[in-house]
Amino acid sequence: MFQEALAQGGLESYFPLSEQFKTQDDPAFCGLGALTMVLNALAIDPGRTWKGPWRWFDESMLECCEPLEVVRERGICIGKLDCLARCNGATTVLRYGDSTGLEEFRRDVIRTTGGRNAHLHEGEVSLCSEEACSGHHHHHHDHHQHHQEQEQDELLIVGYNRQVMGQTGTGHFSPVGGYHAGRDMALIMDVARFKYPPHWVPVPLLWEAIQAVDPETQRSRGYMVVAKGMVSESLLFTIDKTRYEEFEALAVWMRTAALKLPPLMEVEMTRGRNGVGVGGVGGEECARVDHDRLLPLFLESLPESIASMFVTIHESFCLRYSEKHLRSIDALLGGIEAHPIYATMGEQHEARLARFRTAAGRREVAAEEACCAGKVVNERHVLTILYISMLEWVCQRQGWSIFRLFSAQAVYSPPLQLEVAQLKRKIAAMADEVGPGK
């Protein structure tokens, strides 16, 4: 079957996935294992190092949407897995089983496994007999050659109920590594390799398995089409690199902050009843950063040009946003304003904010020009998201859990999660650009 699918051009996804094929690190980490495989197979830059100098995704790094300890205890739903993919540099299309027909699912399987060869067998399901498919074996070398010349730019992760397929266990995630057009079967690259090797599953049966309801969410399971996103894909904020001297000064500050913030964050910890440190795990009893003490130190250390360096994308590139983007920006600014740090800045640090105010920061801009749904972006928005992004970046560098930074009540809205993720990548790039000797 493998040779037949290869001859049909249905194994374009197999090769990049097989290079990253791994066993999930924990019995409940199937979603994290599948996503790690896909992110590395798509050659997405994590924006941070794994070990030594190597920038590589590991399951322990996928924590921006759900604490690892929560995932270890009860697994992860497909909505949170989709969030993890997007906040780590991917773009996704999430489809739930109960809103996706068999034909649509089959088309997505074909497209993500056949790449640019999808047209060779799309629409020809079950038209190729085993004998006819076998007759194409002499094309084996040509298709392998084709794989080496191009990259697969979309990959598929399925979330399904094993019991529907006669397997042990219940909910599971794995990438799809191939499609056999003659038999209408998908190749599951099962990340629970201690249980099952890669195996072929009839597409109708796999579609039936994604219809099953996830008891955690009371929604059906589903699948994700994952692609490589743009590193600069922010909703609103970006860093203005046109003023080189100010940009270099800001980058130097960021690299200095990377050295000075970790000991400050440890000193300014409030100890919970269990005495767990910033890198610990657990609930509200865990030690957390004392922002009443750390935030003033942070604001006082910032260069004055910071508010003008972190600009809106509209200011930087003169873009006009779609209505959908406008709604997302509105949700982003609302998420920033709902964060306790935003309120703290206004209540306790008004005098410190004064030096960051610029004419651009104070001006009233028409909604159609600012593209912020009638809201004015001020220095509190900028400094709040910068503070959150910097602390999360430091946590990632130190291997600390970002869920120890703020109380459980400080829930991020999805737009804020994604914007923070993009800013962390820009901060990491700036710090690396300056280099250790500058």
pLDDT above 90: percentage of residues in the chain: 37
Most confident range, picked from 22-26, 259-263, 281-285: 22-26
Residues above pLDDT 70, as percent of the chain: 74
Quickly state the pLDDT bin for 250 (edges 50, 70, 90).
confident
Residue, of 55 and 100, whose pLDDT is higher: 100
Least confident of 269-283, 302-316, 417-431: 269-283
Residues 106-154 pLDDT 10s: 999 999 998 445 544 444 444 333 333 433 343 333 444 444 444 568 9
Higher-confidence residue of 180 and 238: namely 180
Assign 378 a pLDDT band (cuts: 50, 70, 90). confident
List CB contacts of 69: < 8 A, sequence separation 6 or more.
Answer: 281, 282
Does domain 2-228 correspond to CATH entry 3.40.830.10? Answer: no
Q: CB of 254 within 8 A of CB of 393? A: no
Q: Is the pTM of this model over 0.85?
A: no
Mind listing the pLDDT tens digit for each residue in 338-360?
Answer: 999 998 888 878 778 877 775 44
Residue 219 has pLDDT above 70, yes or no: yes
Question: Would you please indicate which residues are annotated as catalytic (active-site) residues?
Answer: 30, 172, 190
Q: Does 26 score more than 80 pLDDT?
A: yes
Average pLDDT in the chain? 78
The structure tokens listed for 202 are: 């009839």
Domain boundaries, the chain: 2-228, 237-434
Angle at 34 between CA 30 and CA 36, to 5 degrees: 115
pLDDT digits (tens, 9 = 90+) for 360-372: 443 333 333 444 4
**Where residue 64 falls among pLDDT bands split at 50, 70, 90?**
confident
